[in-house]
């Protein structure tokens, strides 16, 4: 019983670490919410068919080719942030969607504007995942 308790606590701590990645993904001083674009993953209701969404990484796209790139987490673990803050521009965002033991890894291109929040939600139909983006003003 004691070993099960220790394993459960250790697994909980490792799982929580995935959501501790700093939100700030740009150089320089910390900007207020009105000066950055916020990318958030959707958190589904427990025991529902909703897929939870976290962020695996991103690439900033620019006219000269590939811009900055960032990958989060460790392969085999769901060590990905649920929210990041970036500067304006176009990004290719890599998502990790999961519900129980089922997971998908779709990508989406997003033109990001400062002062906006982009909530990313996974929709799964026929074994294929797509990313639905809900945009709102950052508060």
Domain holding 32, by residue range, is: 2-137
Q: How many domains does the chain have?
A: 1
Identify the CA nearest to 116 among candidates 91, 81, 79, 98: 91
Residue ranges of the chain with per-residue pLDDT less than 70: 1-22, 64-66, 75-78
Over the stretch 34-62, which tens digit does the pLDDT of each residue have?
Answer: 899 999 999 988 888 899 999 999 999 87
What average pLDDT does the chain have?
82
> Would you state the pLDDT for residue 13?
44
Q: How many whole angstroms separate alpha carbon 33 and alpha carbon 114? A: 8
């Amino acid at each position: 019983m004691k070993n099960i308790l220790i394993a459960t606590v250790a697994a909980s701590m490792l799982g929580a670490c995935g959501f501790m990645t700093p939100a700030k993904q740009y150089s320089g001083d910390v900007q207020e919410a009105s000066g950055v674009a916020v990318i958030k993953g959707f958190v589904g209701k427990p025991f529902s068919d909703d897929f939870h969404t976290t962020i695996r990484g991103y690439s900033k796209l620019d006219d000269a080719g590939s811009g900055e790139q960032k990958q989060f987490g460790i392969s085999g673990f769901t060590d990905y942030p649920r929210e990041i803050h970036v500067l304006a521009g176009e990004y290719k965002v890599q998502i990790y969607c999961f519900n129980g033991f089922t997971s998908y890894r779709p990508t989406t291109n997003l033109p990001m504007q400062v002062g906006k929040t982009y909530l990313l939600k996974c929709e799964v139909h026929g074994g294929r995942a797509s990313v639905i983006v809900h945009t709102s003003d950052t508060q």
